[in-house]
Structure 1
Amino acid sequence: MLTKKQLDLLEFIQKRVARDGVPPSFDEMKEALDLRSKSGIHRLITALEERGFIRRLAHRARALEIVKLPDALQTKLDAASGFNPRVINGDRPGNRPRAAQSLETGGAIELPVMGRIAAGVPIAAISEISHNVSVPASMVGKGEHYALEVKGDSMIDAGINDGDVVVIRETSTAQTGDIVVALVEDAEATLKRYRRNGNTIALEAANPAYETRLYRDDQVKVQGCLVGLIRTY
């Protein structure tokens, strides 16, 4: 169990990484936690490292990496960002789809899995159906939906892992902070957090190992917004 100061520091580091792509400096941590010296920050970081929440990386400036977050903090950050997906645990589907369109059956809806989406560097745009997956009707709500299998680890700090199946609501618009399927230059698709600043679109990873990528607004088309995910074991 973490102390309040340890939790406060972990939250501050996570927010700065999400915003800037790099962890804060020790001076910034000291100021944020209102500590008198950096030695207190060193002790807090050591405690977080010993508990497996962060990792120090050798030979890199500001070399901190968040490994995991406590459930309470992850829930708080998800709520603040507007992302609160429902996670469904299930078996990996093994059958080919009977049809490409959604089919409602009782309390579940079958969605087409439209291939794989990169949670890392963009990959080729996705258009082929690989199989269907069942999700609760209450998850998808109104509108058209589809599913994609996640490839890569750039969204792990948002709770999205390699191999997860994400449920996407089709839309061509998004709000800043939404996690979206973005089509880049009509050729490559990626799953990222969407941020707009004037005519510039930032596609932001949730993993400090990946850089935020900036594009002109005419280079990016939103293909849908994340509403939930399915995790298999």
Structure 2
Amino acid sequence: MLTRKQLELLELIDSRMKRDGVPPSFDEMKDALSLRSKSGIHRLITALEERGFIRRLAHRARAIEVVKMPETADSRHVPRVIEGGVRDAAQAPAGAMPVRQVDAVELAVMGRIAAGTPIEAISEISHHVAVPGSMLSGKGDHYALEVRGDSMIEAGINDGDIVVIREQSTAENGDIVVALVEGQEATLKRFRRMRGMIALEAANPAYETRMLRDDQVEVQGRLVGLIRSY
């Protein structure tokens, strides 16, 4: 079963492949489907690939192959398409909230961050992730990290989650931050100043609070959002 937008994109890619031999660019797809960001195109392409309608070819730019089209040969094989809206208020479930279009922003995932024993700092982009624009805090730069470990589980941060970080070099007591320890180990912990030292607190009683001198800790960002992995 395809949504209306998925079907529109599949038909666009198929027609352009037959006409030009190459699929349209992401910008062309976005404009043709009247979407506000390319992240929506990413999601549609992923959905079409998961359903077996297209195949993305590795290590080639704009390399998309149409594997199949929905059967439309006669009236008995009309594509099953999910309409994008509710026809009237009477059809809406009780208590349903109106659906709003939300702007999404693509952030670079800068590797993994330890929520446990600190790991070597990673600064290379591993992939990108789309996050709601409303999740971003202020006008500063943001990036994302994949969590490894369970030291922050009582703060609702689990192994495998993606944390959204706002770049900043300062923190208030109680902030959850990305801390670079002695220039080489990155960890995700709650930040506090205590008795002239910096405490990096876990949110799991199995882990001890680390007490460090001010010159041993460099704050690299503050947690502003979380994407749960199931």
TM-score range, shorter chain: 0.5 to 0.7
For structure 1, which runs of at least 5 residues remain unmatched after alignment? Answer: 1-89, 97-105
Matched with 1:128 is 124
Aligned: 1:117 with 2:113: yes
Of residues 183, 190, 193, the one that matches 2:190 is: 193
1:212 aligns to 2:197 (yes or no): no
In the TM superposition, residue 197 of structure 1 has moved relative to its aligned partner by: 2.1
User: What corresponds to 1:160 in structure 2?
Assistant: 157
| Aligned length in residues | 133
**Deviation, structure 1 residue 232:** 2.2
TM-score in terms of structure 1 length: 0.54
Which of 173, 178, 196 is matched with 1:176 structurally? Answer: 173
**What per-residue deviation string (whole Å, max 9, x for no partner) do you get for residues 125-164 of structure 1?**
1111100000011110321000000000000000000000
CA distance in 2, matches of 1:185, 1:205: 18
State the structure with bigger RCO (CA 8 A, min sep 6), 1 or 2: 1
Check if 1:230 corresponds to 2:213: no
* Partner-residue secondary structure (3-state), 2:193: strand
The correspondence for 2:218, drawn from 206, 218, 221, is 221
Rounded Cα–Cα distance in structure 2 between residues aligned with 1:211 and 1:167: 25
Q: TM-score, normalised by structure 2?
A: 0.55
State the secondary structure of the residue aligned to 1:186.
coil
Q: Give the CA deviation at 1:199.
A: 2.9
Among the aligned pairs, what percent are the same residue? 74
* CA-atom RMSD in angstroms: 2.2
**Higher alpha-carbon Rg:** 2
List runs of 5+ in structure 2 lacking aligned partners.
1-42, 51-55, 59-101
